[in-house]
């Protein structure tokens, strides 16, 4: 039985055909305009008879099933995608059952399934062009009246940090101060030039640790998994763990927090959390 999976991210769309937990074919297309990006994806899926499609989409996207606008991408900075209904598009073109959630929601789900019941509550934080967070509680992607937007959690600026935020809405949110876009705007350095700059990773770790402590206090997860392009930097995780322990200051204690190396960790799925999670969202459907 074949299932389709799409990780529709802000930078690229990754599409895959899954058979028995394995990818048998895949396609990656840059995120430009709906017309240019989606046409080759439809052609790709039309080569296979998929039973259903799992879709993890960048947002904000309306996920309220009762809403007539289910699947509508709303106030994204990517103008061409604003008010585009990504769910309806794929329903019309592929005519198969579709399960939809956010790109970070499905990435969190992918990590949850990769842990094979050893972890029930986790957060997946992607630090790339932007910052997104998926929350898993008891194996379910957490949602309220809308999906959470924890990448825009407000944090305290370090006194000497005068760089402007890259978030058009907030002067001191985590995405505005610590995303990959923020690193590029601040330093104008390539990832390899950034790699050994301990001063840079100390500040980055300080900002992410503030957010991670907030997430920890709110959700009490067993793991915080960090993915996305910036997470590949070797100095990042040690700096987040260092500041996390310092900021927590011994206040919040439970067993999973006792070892920061296990608690704040890289994905088990490597770069496959999103695509695998999109598959996990849909397998068994259709």
Contacts with Zn ion, residue ranges (CB under 5 A)? 152, 167, 169-170, 173, 176
d(CA 140, CA 150): 17
Buried b (16+ CB within 10 A) or exposed e, 65-83: eeeeeebbbeebeeeebee
Q: Give the nearest distance from C-beta 153 to Zn ion in angstroms.
A: 9
Q: Give the nearest distance from C-beta 167 to Zn ion in angstroms.
A: 3
Contact 126, 211 (CB under 8 A): no
β-bridge partners, 99: 54
Question: Nearer Cβ to Zn ion, position 45 or 58?
Answer: 58
Question: Nearer Cβ to Zn ion, position 85 or 182?
Answer: 182
Q: Give the nearest distance from C-beta 3 to Zn ion in angstroms.
A: 34
Beta strands in 128-274 (DSSP E): 131-137, 140-141, 223-227, 264-265
Any idea which residue has 């995120």 for tokens? 31
Report helix angle 198-219 to 236-248, nearest 10. 50
Question: Nearer Cβ to Zn ion, position 80 or 170?
Answer: 170
| Residue 89: how many other CB atoms lie within 10 Å | 16
Q: Give the nearest distance from C-beta 285 to Zn ion in angstroms.
A: 34
Question: Nearer Cβ to Zn ion, position 166 or 278?
Answer: 166
Q: Give the nearest distance from C-beta 165 to Zn ion in angstroms.
A: 7
Question: Nearer Cβ to Zn ion, position 51 or 170?
Answer: 170
Structure token pair of residue 221: 């997860």
d(CA 164, CA 172): 9
Question: Nearer Cβ to Zn ion, position 147 or 241?
Answer: 147
Q: Give the nearest distance from C-beta 132 to Zn ion in angstroms.
A: 12
């Amino acid at each position: 039985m074949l299932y389709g999976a799409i990780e529709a991210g802000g930078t690229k769309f990754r599409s895959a055909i899954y058979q028995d937990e394995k990818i048998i074919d895949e396609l990656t297309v840059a995120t430009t305009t709906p017309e240019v990006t989606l046409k080759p994806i439809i052609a790709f899926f039309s080569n296979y008879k998929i039973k259903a499609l799992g879709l993890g989409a960048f947002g904000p996207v309306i996920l309220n099933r009762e809403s007539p606008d289910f699947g509508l991408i709303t106030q994204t900075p990517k103008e061409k995608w604003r008010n585009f209904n990504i769910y309806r598009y794929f329903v019309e073109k592929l005519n198969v059952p579709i399960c939809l959630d956010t790109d970070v929601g499905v990435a969190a789900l992918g990590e949850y399934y990769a842990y094979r019941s050893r972890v029930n509550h986790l957060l997946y934080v992607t630090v790339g062009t932007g910052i997104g967070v998926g929350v898993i509680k008891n194996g379910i992607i957490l949602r309220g009246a809308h999906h959470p937007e924890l990448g825009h959690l407000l944090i305290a600026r370090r006194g000497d940090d005068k760089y402007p935020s890259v978030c058009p809405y907030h002067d001191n949110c985590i995405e505005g101060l610590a995303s990959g876009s923020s690193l590029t705007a601040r330093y104008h350095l390539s990832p390899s030039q950034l790699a050994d700059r301990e001063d840079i990773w100390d500040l980055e770790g300080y900002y992410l640790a503030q957010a991670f402590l907030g997430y920890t206090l709110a959700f009490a997860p067993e793991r915080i998994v960090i993915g996305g392009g910036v997470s590949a930097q070797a100095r990042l995780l040690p700096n987040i763990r260092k500041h996390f322990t310092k900021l927590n200051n011994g206040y919040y204690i439970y067993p999973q927090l006792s070892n920061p190396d296990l608690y704040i960790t890289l994905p088990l799925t490597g770069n496959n959390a999103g695509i695998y999670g999109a598959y996990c969202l849909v397998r068994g459907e259709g």
